[in-house]
Amino acid sequence: MIVEFEVLEQEDIDLLLKTPLYVSILIAGADGKIDKNELNEAISLSKIKQTKARKELIEYYKEVGNHFEDKLKVLINSLPSGHEQRNKFISDELTKVGTILTKIDNHFAKELYVSLKDMAKKVAEASGGILGYMSVGYEESKFVDLKMIKDPSL
């Protein structure tokens, strides 16, 4: 178990472990169609972050990254099919994350928040711009800053 999560209820732990999945789906499907390039970037990031994330987050990303692609597919299938309903559902879930972050070690919470925002940006950049990289589309730009998650540094 992730040490910082010992103070949490199981429901809160489950949501924090799903958060990178939700972020990936929200960004990849922001414009109504879940983009495969963006999902592939999310899967790649889930592997990279298991060894190259901020050191405080390595255990978290090892837990999250375990069967990430399978979890992503299952979660996509369980969410509302209409993109507006899906985006609202995910945004509501991510709003809860801000409250949960106030219950854990503040340093860990801040690091996780920054890492999630970085993940959102990288997923969004996976299918835009020149040759498909380095640009965030209009619909994605509405979500990429993850404003629905209260910044734990404030």
Q: What is the pLDDT of residues 72-107, one digit of tens each?
A: 999 999 999 899 999 999 999 999 999 999 999 999
pTM greater than the 0.75 cutoff: yes
Contact between 128 and 134 (Cβ < 8 Å) = yes
**CA 149 vs CA 3, 110, 130, 134: distances in Å:** 22, 11, 30, 24
pLDDT score for 135: 66
For 1-154, strand residue ranges (E) read none
Inter-helix orientation angle 36-52/10-28, to 10°: 130
**CA 29 vs CA 7, 21, 62: distances in Å:** 33, 12, 25
